[in-house]
């Protein structure tokens, strides 16, 4: 029996909105000379990042099967999606119902013994990333990806040559330096992540060109819960560990927020995360305003897995490689089966849509956590995932986002703590 043909598949997927207009890219490479043997890309309509990434994997594996239908192969799949790599390697459970049939389809294409999976930083996955962005750009024009017009192979070759000319920075194993390099590369590698431009007749108008009367928006006043005992120590405190109560300081902060909202008289509804620190904060405001508190599970904090209760320094010491990967990609979950920021964004955006429908034209107070608030702000601004690391949210701070009937959100306030002074 002949030796198997060794191949590399690099795959990626993206969604401009998550969920939003989505596409995937995949490339089959000869590992000896990195020659491109096949490329695939497709605009797939509205989908999440994870769905698009799985579709990219499936396309890459099918391309191998079509190239070598009668030849044994040994395929190394390289992806920057920690979720897909860990799930297809069998180390993580597949929790989301949309992912299961995609994973099963991918597993059926080639024998399991002939495929291995490797996570790589996004900066090393530029060929597939560019193909995915070309597909999304084509979708924005109402077209499908044209392989004849693709420049992904050319641009990736040029980038690889330039990269090889520059020595790495930072000492080996330096998690902070590694994360900084990956973030810089990510920023340089994704220039086309803005939403595709619609025809001017169909595009919602904003700013000075906005319609004169869009009606009252659904306005979400976003209140971060007050302090707990873990807050001053800056420990990871999500939804997967203990459920701490407010500290004495946190209760004072909640009381001051309640007084401020009573003075303003604008809040008409109150919605809270199910976690105790949020419910206690929300109940303090509700008692002052005479309103009921409705619980929305989608507003809970990220599940930080094995990092719950640890400081950043402790996580870096115990789980350094996982922390570096987490800082580099929104698809990477904390150690021990926590939630990735991509998964959090998916459930927060679903909760947002439900709440917009329920509170159209009204002002609702949403009492929640750091990650959900930052995610709502990020999505409102159309900012990239790494912007989550560039926002500061103090305990009991207030931010505000309004959602208009034309689909345009407006960030009105961020991290206001004037009511606490």
Residue 153: its pLDDT value, please?
Answer: 64
Say what the pLDDT of residue 310 is: 93
**96: pLDDT confidence band, cut at 50, 70 and 90?**
confident
Stretch among 12-26, 77-91, 146-160 having the lowest mean pLDDT: 146-160
Say which range, 50-54, 87-91, 209-213, 220-224, has the weakest mean pLDDT: 209-213
Quote the pLDDT of residue 296.
Answer: 95
98 close to 51: Cβ distance less than 8 angstroms: yes
**Percent over 70 (pLDDT), the chain:** 84
Cβ count near 231 (within 10 Å): 20
Pairing of strands 5-15, 73-79: parallel
What is the model's pLDDT at position 277?
96
Is the pLDDT score of 200 beyond 80?
no
pLDDT for 362 beyond 70: yes
pLDDT over 70 (residue 73): yes
Residue with tokens 């001017």: 200
Average pLDDT, the chain: 84
pLDDT at 345 exceeding the cut of 60: yes
Specify the higher pLDDT residue, 91 or 61: 61
Q: Give Cα separations from 71 to 27, 60, 183, 383 (angstroms).
A: 19, 16, 39, 45
Q: What pLDDT does residue 205 have?
A: 38
Residue 254 to residue 266: CA distance in whole angstroms: 17
250 burial (CB, 10 Å; 0-12 / 13-18 / 19+) is: buried
* Residues taking part in catalysis: 225, 301
Q: Helices 126-140 and 152-164, interaxial angle, to 10°? A: 150
Q: What is the pLDDT of residue 91?
A: 86
For the segment 130-151, the average pLDDT, to the nearest whole number, is 88
pTM recorded for the entire structure: 0.54
The whole-number pLDDT of residue 31 equals: 86
Instruction: Please state, in angstroms and as integers, the Cα–Cα distance from residue 369 to each residue in 284, 346, 394, 410, 419, following that order.
Output: 16, 16, 10, 20, 18
Residue with the bigger pLDDT between 191 and 154: it is 154
Instruction: Check whether 208 has a pLDDT greater than 50.
Output: no
Does residue 198 register a pLDDT over 70?
A: no
pLDDT one-digit tens code per residue, 271-285: 999 999 999 999 999
Q: How many whole angstroms separate alpha carbon 216 and alpha carbon 15?
A: 29
Q: Higher confidence at residue 48 or residue 203?
A: 48
Given a cut of 50, whether residue 54 has pLDDT beyond it is: yes
Q: Is 293 left (phi over 0), alpha (psi -120 to 50) or beta?
A: beta
Across residues 173-195, what is the average pLDDT? 37
> Given this model, what pLDDT does residue 123 score?
82
At 275 the pLDDT is 96
If DSSP codes are grouped into helix, strand and coil, which group holds residue 261? helix
pLDDT tops 60 at residue 204? no
Residue 1 confidence (pLDDT): 65
Cβ atoms of residues 264 and 258 within 8 Å: no
Q: How confident is the model at residue 270 (pLDDT cuts 50, 70, 90)?
A: very high
Tell whether the model's pLDDT for residue 301 goes beyond 90.
yes
* Confidence at residue 180, expressed as pLDDT on a 0 to 100 scale: 40
pLDDT digits (tens, 9 = 90+) for 210-254: 443 456 789 999 999 999 999 999 999 999 878 999 999 999 999
Task: Tell me the two tokens of residue 358.
Answer: 């329920």
Strand segments (E) across 265-419:
269-272, 293-295, 363-368, 398-403, 409-416
The set of residues, in sequence order, having a beta carbon less than 8 Å from that of 42 and lying 6+ positions away, is 23, 24, 55, 59, 135, 144, 145
């Amino acid at each position: 029996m002949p030796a198997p043909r060794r191949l590399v598949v690099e795959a990626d997927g993206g969604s401009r909105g998550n969920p939003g207009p989505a596409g995937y890219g995949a490339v089959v490479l000869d590992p000896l000379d990195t020659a491109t043997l096949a490329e695939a890309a497709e605009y797939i309509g509205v989908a999440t990042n994870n769905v698009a990434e799985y579709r990219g994997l499936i396309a890459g594996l099918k391309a191998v099967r079509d190239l070598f239908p009668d030849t044994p192969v040994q395929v190394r799949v390289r992806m920057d999606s920690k979720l897909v790599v860990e799930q297809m390697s069998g180390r993580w459970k597949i929790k989301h119902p949309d992912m299961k049939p995609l994973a099963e389809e991918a597993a059926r294409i080639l024998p399991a013994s002939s495929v291995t999976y490797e996570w790589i930083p996004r900066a090393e996955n530029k060929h597939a990333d560019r193909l995915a962005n070309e597909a999304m750009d084509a979708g924005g024009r109402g077209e499908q990806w044209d392989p004849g017009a693709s420049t992904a192979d050319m641009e990736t070759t040029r980038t690889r040559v330039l990269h090889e000319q520059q020595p790495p920075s930072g000492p080996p194993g330096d998690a902070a330096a590694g994360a900084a390099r990956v973030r810089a590369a990510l920023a340089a590698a994704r220039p086309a992540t803005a939403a595709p431009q619609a025809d001017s007749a169909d595009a919602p108008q904003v700013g000075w060109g906005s319609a004169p009367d869009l009606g009252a928006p659904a306005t979400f006043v976003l209140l971060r819960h007050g302090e707990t005992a873990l807050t001053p120590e800056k420990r990871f405190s999500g939804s997967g560990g203990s459920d701490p109560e407010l500290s004495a300081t946190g209760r004072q902060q909640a009381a001051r927020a309640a007084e401020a909202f009573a003075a303003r008289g604008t809040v008409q509804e109150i919605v809270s995360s199910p976690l105790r620190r949020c419910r206690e904060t929300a109940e303090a405001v509700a008692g002052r305003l005479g309103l009921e508190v409705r619980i929305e599970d989608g507003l809970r904090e990220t599940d930080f897995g094995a990092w719950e209760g640890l400081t950043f320094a402790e996580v870096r010491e115990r789980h350094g490689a996982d922390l570096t990967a987490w800082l580099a990609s929104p698809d990477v979950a904390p150690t021990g089966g926590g939630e990735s920021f991509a998964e959090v964004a998916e459930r927060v955006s679903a909760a947002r849509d439900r709440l917009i429908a329920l509170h159209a034209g009204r002002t609702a107070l949403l009492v929640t956590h750091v990650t959900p608030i930052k995610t709502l702000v990020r999505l409102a601004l159309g900012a990239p995932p790494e912007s989550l690391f560039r926002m500061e949210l103090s305990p009991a701070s207030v931010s505000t986002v309004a959602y208009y009937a034309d689909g345009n959100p407006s960030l009105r306030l961020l991290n206001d703590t004037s009511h606490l002074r």
